[in-house]
Structures are given as C-alpha cells and as structure tokens.
Amino acid sequence: MQALTDRSKMVDRKPMTFVERLYLWNIIKGMRITFAHLFRKKVTVKFPEQKRAFSPVFRGLHILNRDEEGRERCTACGLCAVSCPAEAITMEGAERKPGEEHLYREEKYAAKYEINMLRCIFCGFCEEACPKDAIYLTETFAPANYKREGFIYGKDDLLIPDPKTGK
C-alpha cells in the first residue's frame, strides 16, 4: 500500500542501545527544542498594554453620530433594522417638538434605539444602509460583561458625546 504521507516511518522494534536506555539523550533532545522556542519571536502580544493594529476595514462597536451642531442624526427610518441580518436593531420613532430643534436634526427622531450586541454579527450592513450617516461601526471591541443584560445597548450607550459641550 502506498504511504499516505512521506513522513511515515516503519515502527522500529530493535532493542534499545545503552545510550538510549539511559533516556538522558532523549531528554537533551527534547530540551533543545524547548529552549530554542524560548528565544524565538513570540506570536502573542501582552494584550491590555500592547494592542495589535486594527485592519482599516475592522468593524467594531457601533456609535450613533451627531452632526457638527451636536444634534442627533438618526431619524428612525428603520433601514438599519431592515438590513440587519441578525435582527439585532430595534427602535421607536417620535416627532420633534418645537423647542427640541437643538437636540434632533430632523422632524422625526429615534426616541428609543437599541442594539442587541448578543445578536449583532458586526457585518456593517446598518452602516451601509444608513441614509443619514447616523450609525457607524468603530474600531473598538464590544466590551465583555458579566451579565447578558449588559449587552443590550440603548441610546445612552451608543450616542457619541456632544461635540460642543463634550457631554
């Protein structure tokens, strides 16, 4: 039968020689490999202190954008939710009242906006679908959490701070 790989070896059933019976030689052989690895370049990084560079197309945690005057851009049009293959996005729209023009850019806005990060697959379709430049995927990971409840991101988690007041 033809061998499946070229590294196959016949089992050697010869009695061991004196050096082999000492076992020391084999241990030295093994330790040589171990010490050789000590001086090689490490493939891991010390994560919290050291970070790997993100790919330019990395898609991480979502943010809801504001315009240069600090008004929310989202109009609750639902295109992100309809394009979401994981059905992670839900929202409720509301009408802007007179006097709220400094808060919301358009006459309609998202009163509630929620992304279920347990469902999200970070495909970025929401970002692509958004006609108002309101949702973006950043170069940050969604942070870990002890409880599942912490992965339901509301508007207070997603909205970026107001560029004017910084809050």
Partner 1 sequence: MADEQKLFKVTIDNITVEVAPGTTILNAARLIGGDIVPPAMCYYSKLQGSGGKCRTCLVKVTKGSEADPRPMPKLVASCRTTVMDGMEVANITSPEVVDARKSIVEFLLINHPLDCPVCDQAGECHLQDLSYEHGVSATRYEFKRRTFDKVDLGDHIKLHMTRCILCYRCVFTADQLTDKREHGILGRGDHSEISTYIEQNLDNDFIGNVIDVCPVGALTDKTFRFKNRVWFLKPVDAHRDCENPKCCGKTVLWMRGDEVFRVTARKDQYGEVEAYICDTCRFEKKETSDWVIEGPRKINRHSVISQGHYVGMVKPQETIVKVMDGRAPKLLMDIHRVSEVNRPEIDLSKIEGPAHSDDFKINGVHPQ
Q: What is the 3-state secondary structure (H, E, C) of 44-91?
A: CCCCCCCCCCCCCCCCCCEEECECCCCCECCCCCCHHHHHCCCCCEEE
Q: Is 93 in the site for partner 1 (CB under 8 A)?
A: yes
Q: Least separation, in Å, of the C-beta of 163 and partner 1?
A: 21
Q: Is 84 in the site for partner 1 (CB under 8 A)?
A: no
Interacting residue with partner 1 among 22, 31, 111, 160 (CB under 8 A)? 111
- Dig out the tokens for 25 from the structure: 């030689």
Residues 6+ apart with CB under 8 A from 90: 81, 112, 113, 114, 116
Compute how many other C-beta atoms are within 10 angstroms of the C-beta atom of residue 88.
Answer: 23
Interacting residue with partner 1 among 78, 123, 127, 162 (CB under 8 A)? 78
Nearer to partner 1, 61 or 134 (CB): 134
DSSP 3-state of 108: strand
Nearer to partner 1, 58 or 114 (CB): 114
Nearer to partner 1, 30 or 154 (CB): 154
- Give the whole-angstrom CA distance, residue 116 versus residue 150: 9
Q: Is 160 in the site for partner 1 (CB under 8 A)?
A: no
Distance of CA 38 to the CA centre of its chain: 31
130 annotated as a binding-site residue: yes
Binding residues for [4Fe-4S] cluster: 74, 77, 80, 84, 120, 123, 126, 130
Using CB under 8 A as the criterion, which residues of the chain lie in contact with partner 1 when the complex forms?
75-79, 81-82, 90-95, 97, 100, 106-108, 111-112, 114, 116, 131-132, 147-149, 152, 154-156
